[in-house]
Structure 1
């Protein structure tokens, strides 16, 4: 079966149920990122929990690659290569986190007052596991193609810049 990159949205009326599903979702294969978006009864938006699978791997990997590349320059070359690689890897991770945060803000518009939403960024090879998660927690699941959310974020940025 082919893999599909989706953002999965699970709506909850109880924040404790949402947190339990968040903890359980951490073990889903293909999960890239997850977060909880909550809207209080007064309309205030909050992001109480989030996680990124493999956080730091890009930074460390780029640092090691830079250090190896710097071997030609001796000990100082290794140090400079490691520092440069780490800086580039960290910049890539910061950009990914920034994009993820913008996506959560856009999705926050869909959270009703007094509700919580579990947001899962996943590459699914099969929909059954996420469907079962939703069923176990008594909620519905909506799948949004990841590129569709990216387009919504881009449109929101454009609108904000024009305002």
Structure 2
């Protein structure tokens, strides 16, 4: 299975929660989709990214992967900024791998899609095929971006 950074943007928390349940149901079927880290974030009216901890926990616990945390930090969220500082302070290969994965294409896409009051699932996952996740996201009127990870 290919390792992916998957960002799925939705119009509301309610819609994102329903999509998250579908992601979880698909993962539980063991058909080639495994989430390693997942968070739900929302951009507020001021442009700040907020971790929706209460909604995230039921899906994938409290672990935030390094790429997910780095992305949140680079987009202006407090949790990611803290994690980004921790990663940055440690230096080394991990920091470079994160910066390489979080490229201009991802930021351009997120800037156009994740506008105030919109919600995004940020997932680090393994998937055999993008078909099922794409169907879930598009079925809820969302947009999806993938970045292959090494």
TM-score w.r.t. length of structure 2:
0.58
Q: 2-side partners of 1:135 and 1:8: how far apart? A: 14
Q: Which has the larger Rg?
A: 1
**More helix, by proportion:** 1
Number of positions where the alignment pairs a residue of Structure 1 with one of Structure 2? 105
CA contact 1:22–1:35 (8 Å) conserved in 2: no
Cα distance change of structure 1 residues 45 and 120 upon mapping to structure 2, 3 Å threshold = same
2:48 to 44, 50, 66: 44
Cα distance change of structure 1 residues 105 and 25 upon mapping to structure 2, 3 Å threshold = farther
1:1-163 correspondence to structure 2 within 5 Å: 3-27=1-25, 28=27, 29-49=33-53, 50-51=56-57, 97=64, 99=66, 100-106=68-74, 110=110, 111-147=114-150
Q: 1-side partners of 2:116 and 2:9: how far apart? A: 12
Give the aligned CA root-mean-square deviation in angstroms.
Answer: 2.7
C-alpha displacement of 1:141 = 1.2
What is the SS of the residue equivalent to 1:32?
strand
Which 10-residue stretch deviates more, 97-106 or 8-17?
97-106
CA contact 2:10–2:119 (8 Å) conserved in 1: yes
What is the SS of the residue equivalent to 2:117?
coil
Q: Which has the higher contact order (CA 8 A, sep 6+)?
A: 2
TM-score w.r.t. length of structure 1:
0.54
* Gapped regions of structure 2 (runs ≥ 5): 28-32, 77-106
C-alpha displacement of 1:38 = 0.5
